[in-house]
């Protein structure tokens, strides 16, 4: 039974790089929606009135970063620098918009900003995983 468990663990561990790619893809797909909400009111607009962000305002710049950066993360192109920029955006979002409301992310509605910040910080170090344009470009 121990040999079977060891094989199972080895098999599961061998999936690590692919799960990194899956985490990147799912994170990016969710993050893109933050941008489409601000830029295109899709699938809904920004609270409280379902509007879009006014061009060149801070929410609009955030929406551009989320949409364009999210697309780049989705395909895994320039992953490390893009992820670092997005981690910074999420840190600013948390400290500027969420933290003043309460020191607790569950109270100030900042849980997603904190999670995105640290997931993107992780990608800036770990890279995109094997299922990415960055990985394909390194093979050539």
pLDDT digits (tens, 9 = 90+) for 85-109: 999 999 999 999 999 999 999 999 9
pLDDT at 128: 97
Domain range list for the chain: 18-139
Reduced to 3 states, what is the DSSP secondary structure of residue 135?
Answer: helix
pTM for the whole structure: 0.92
> For residue 86, with 0-12 CB atoms within 10 Å meaning exposed, 13-18 middle and 19 or more buried, which class applies?
buried
Q: What is the CA radius of gyration of the chain?
A: 18
User: Which has the closest alpha carbon to 133: 79, 77, 52?
Assistant: 77
For 59-122, the three-class secondary structure string (H helix, E strand, C coil) is HHHHHHHHHHHHHHHHHCCCHHHHHHHHHHHHHHHHHHHHHHHCCCHHHHCCHHHHHHHHHHHH
């Amino acid at each position: 039974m121990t040999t079977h468990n060891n094989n199972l663990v080895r098999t599961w561990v061998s999936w690590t790089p692919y799960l990194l790619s899956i985490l990147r893809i799912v994170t990016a797909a969710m993050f893109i929606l933050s941008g489409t909400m601000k830029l295109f009111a899709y699938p809904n607009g920004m609270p409280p009135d379902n509007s879009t962000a006014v061009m060149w305002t801070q929410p609009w710049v955030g929406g551009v970063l989320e949409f364009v950066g999210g697309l780049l993360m989705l395909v895994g192109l320039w992953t490390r620098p893009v992820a670092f920029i997005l981690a910074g955006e999420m840190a600013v979002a948390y400290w500027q918009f969420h933290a003043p409301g309460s020191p607790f992310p569950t109270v100030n509605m900042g849980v997603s900003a904190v999670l995105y910040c640290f997931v993107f910080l992780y990608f800036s170090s770990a890279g995109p995983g094997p299922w990415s344009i960055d990985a394909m470009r390194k093979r050539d």
